[in-house]
Structure 1
Amino acid sequence: MSASIGNEELLFYVGTYASEEDEGIRLCGLDPKTGTLRLIHGTSGIKNPSFLVLNQNASRLYAASEQSEGAVVSYEVDPESGKLKQLNSLPTQGADPCHLSLSSDGSLLAANYSSGHVGRFALDEQGALSETTALVQHIGQGFRQDRQEAAHAHSVVPGEDGKFVYVSDLGLDQIVYYRVEDGKLTTQGEVKLPPGAGPRHFVIHPNGQHAYGINELNNTITVYAYNPVQGHLEILQHIATIPEDFVGESYPADVHLSADGRYLYGSNRGHDSIVRFAVDPAAGTLSQPEWTGTGGKWPRNFAVLEDFAIVANQFTDNVVLFRRDPATGSLTETGMELAIKQPSCVEPVRSTK
């Protein structure tokens, strides 16, 4: 799909918590000249499409249906209108899938939070879901009985070449990494986080030497040395996502890097902010935190573009736009937002020009 619908409009999809009758997936537009946002259209027929991922040329979209009997759904994207046509769906064979990713090896990966399952799905020539090629079950418990009574796979992220897959397990305080062999997932190693950390989301730096994980339960980001050849991770730094003087409860959620790798961003639910860090280009470590209020409550997910950031505030039913300074990484309010019920994911249509 073209990255614009007239007037060079930037497009993005928003996933939500919704009933099958509601338009749970919304296509939205952003005018980069004026900062104006608009709702273009919506797609119904899927319950709780809480996480979305587009393929590289934005011709296919995949959605997680987060429920006790989880499913993933594939859609064809109309290249002119951006409207979605369902191709098919498959059960995840787990409970509450909350994160999806596409691998360069041509597969879709899914993390099931409540059951601790991680699945790998082959895709056919049309980009539809073909079959489940791998299903692994995490077992165990962590430090906190209220949140870590069992394994909770919260995200699944492939390495750039698709040879390794990294699963952040909030319940086990581990990032478990797998080797992909003949479509199966074979354990390659694991990194143990401090007790009660609760790893949630994970991102690999474009330099291929560092990675970053955001930890939901102890309000930190962990910096890793990353070995793309053997897949190994080594902890280099833990840094707080919230100010030292904040006394309320807060739970980090999402983490993203700027495209140039100079800045890293994390969302804080409770503190209701986006924190920006400067990335040391050689060491990969983080410094100079700067916080920006999200204009709502419970920023579950967000997207970082060159000149903008788009934040989904789940509890205040709004998606808020911020201007981003590419030179400093700083975010500033624009006053622009969209009313969308229980937004949970922002998936931009990246330009393929």
Structure 2
Amino acid sequence: MSDNTSLFYAGTYTGADEQGIFQCSLDLHSGRMEIVNSTDGIANSSFLAMNADKDRLYAVSETDAGEVYAYSVDSETGELHLLDRKPTQGSAPCYISLTQDGSHVMVANYTSGHVNAYRIGDNGELTPSSLIQHSGSSINQDRQEGPHPHSVFQDPEGKYVLVCDLGLDEVIFYRLEEGKLVSHHTVKTAPGAGPRHFDFHPSGQWAYGINELDDTVTVYALNTQAGDLKILQTISALPEGAVQGSASADIHVTPCGRFLYASNRSEDSIGLYHINPSTGMLTAVEWVSTNGKTPRNFAIFKGGYLLAANQNSSNIVSFKINKENGRLTPTGFVLEVPKPVCILPVAKCKH
């Protein structure tokens, strides 16, 4: 593979009898994308994760009887070969991540309201090690009638596991002790916010959460020693005058730490924010159409590209990031992929 090309995988909302996980390439000169190969046998591969050695890929199957899949990655072709699959003992798993040391996979089950941990064996196989059931509700009777964990991930130092629970308006800290998730601390968001996804500033000082239900972004001071967050700012994820759609989705900070992007599915847009280098606070700059419908997920790539997965228009659109101000410009290249909902860069991006 050329140094001018980056690989990525796309997860989709497709049936098990259809091609579901797509390996794709991104030309770092132009933003052109191509499908390299694809994998069937998994339904609704809505979130993907890869180990540090890039030889194992893990995926959730977001179905009523949820499952987690483990694949080996062919070092020459990037093709996926199934190693293991395990039930999550719940429904609608929508997020998967690995611990910093690569020892465990963690899964958030949206509908059944619980979080799993699995120990990863030497050959990539999965052994269930923990299951934590959340309980409670919040003020939105339609969407917060019960717990709905929407993401699970470790802090940058690998000390704590954090869970954004949309149904409880909580970001919950756990410790992972010998494979068991142990309760540590809970941070409350604004009532009815619906915390969904999260990202960390490369300095380690701040964290940023996107709230689906009230279409906001929250800035937190991050204390990795104590395992705590302090709310510093809450800012709209929508442009001024836009109608709230309870559809904010994904959030990412650039590796340089200067820019933050947030996607919104009601506006079919991605917002750009400048990050104050002294305080971590956000200033809204602009919103750009994703040139598609329902941008559930997006990713930032080396060379200064952003790829947006438009679920309901079945395409992935590439944008060039202006390295001076972070503004997005469409490259003109669009990749047709059935109902893409997750983009996983193979290489860690730097620009």
TM tier relative to shorter chain? over 0.9
CA–CA distance in structure 1, aligned partners of residues 243 and 132 of structure 2: 38
Contact 2:104–2:117 (Cα < 8 Å) also in 1 = yes
Q: Report the Cα distance in structure 1 between the residues aligned to 2:177 and 2:52, rounded to whole angstroms.
A: 23
The equivalent of 1:309 in structure 2 is 306
TM (norm. structure 2) is 0.96
What's the counterpart of residue 268 of structure 2?
Answer: 272
Q: Please, which runs of 5 or more residues in structure 2 have no aligned partner?
A: none
Matches within 5 A, 1:118-267: 118-129=115-126, 131-247=127-243, 249-267=245-263
Distance 2:193 2:348 in 1: 36
Matched, 1:88 2:84: yes
Is 2:347 the partner of 1:350?
yes
Which residue identity is paired with 2:112? S
Counting aligned pairs with the same residue, the percent is 46
| Deviation per residue, 1:102-136 (Å, 9 max, x gap) | 1113211100000111011110112222x111110
Deviation of the 1:248 alpha carbon? 5.8
Is the CA contact 1:153–1:169 (under 8 Å) kept in the aligned structure 2? Answer: yes
Between the aligned partners of 2:288 and 2:40, the Cα distance in structure 1 is 33
Decide whether the 8 Å contact of 2:301 with 2:349 is kept in 1: no
Structure 2 CA distance for aligned equivalents of residues 281 and 352 of structure 1: 20
* Residue 297 (structure 1) aligns with: 293
TM-score by length of 1: 0.96
Shifted more, 100-109 versus 343-352: the winner is 343-352
Post-superposition Cα deviations, 1:65-86, rounded to whole Å, max 9, x if no partner, equal 0011111101111111110011
Amino acid at match of 1:312: A
Q: 1:68 aligns with which of 49, 64, 68?
A: 64
Change in 2 beyond 3 A, CA 1:270/1:300: same
Question: Gaps (5+ residues) in structure 1?
Answer: none
Relative distance call for 1:321 and 1:249 in structure 2 (3 A) is same
Matched letter for residue 80 of structure 2: L
Contact persistence 1:162–1:180 (CA under 8 A): no
Residue 347 of structure 2 corresponds to residue 338 of structure 1: no
> 1:265 Cα deviation (Å)?
0.8
Give yes or no for contact 1:276–1:291 (8 Å, CA) kept in 2.
Answer: yes
SS in 2 for 1:315: helix
Residues 352, 338 of structure 1: alpha-carbon distance in 2 compared, 3 angstrom cutoff: closer
Does the 8 Å contact 1:61/1:74 carry over to 2? yes
Q: Read off the aligned partner of 1:126 and give its amino acid letter.
A: N
Do the aligned residues in 1 keep the contact of 2:109 with 2:148 (CA within 8 Å)?
A: yes
Aligned equivalent of 1:326: 323
Tell me how far 1:247 sits from its aligned partner.
2.6
Q: Once the two structures are superposed, what CA deviation does each residue of 1:177-227 show, in whole Å capped at 9, x if it has no partner?
A: 111222211111111111110000011222111111100000101111111
Equivalent of 1:9 in 5, 11, 16: 5
Matched, 1:29 2:25: yes
Cα 1:200–1:248, aligned 2, differ >3 Å: closer, same or farther? closer
CA-atom RMSD in angstroms = 1.4
Q: In the alignment, is the contact (CA less than 8 A) between 2:11 and 2:48 conserved in 1?
A: yes
How many Å separate the matches in 1 of 2:106 and 2:143?
A: 24
CA deviations 1:142-182 (Å, max 9, x no partner) are 11111111100000010123220110000001111111222
